[in-house]
Amino acid sequence: MTDQPTQFRDGIAVSLVDGDPAIRRARQIMLLSERYDVRSYATGAALLADPRSRDVSCIVVDVDEIGSSGMDTLHAMRASGWRGKAILLDDGISPPALVQAAERHGDHILDRATGDASLLAAIAASIDRGWADWNAEG
């Protein structure tokens, strides 16, 4: 699906949070086929309850997740020490506060209905930028 060699992705952990089981499963299968180590969650609370979630490079989260806000989930993840990047899935025109938060943290905002190629490109860019940021800190 992409021009990047698949060995680049082997072992790279990505979390997926989406309350729609059909969408979550389809995206999980797509990410697995691209050789990401993907874990999927129906809610942000489930993500937060998993201690392994702090080790992922990228989180794909629906900003309007059921029972909570995807932004609340990201705030809680960052407060717990997570330093990765996020792909925020939203409908149409994003509110200015969401855009500002994404810019501040180096996150991407995509339309919720975005296709696989665009999602994969955003994940790859987030991971590349996240690794560069981590290397600069260390």
Reading the block at residue 11, the tokens are: 């072992």
pTM given for the model: 0.80
Span 46-98, pLDDT tens digits: 999 999 999 999 999 988 765 567 788 888 999 999 989 999 988 877 777 77
Span 14-55, pLDDT tens digits: 999 998 899 999 999 999 999 999 999 999 999 999 999 999
Rounded alpha-carbon distances, angstroms, from residue 136 to 9, 58, 79, 98, 129? 21, 18, 21, 26, 11
- 111 pairs with which residues across the strands? 90
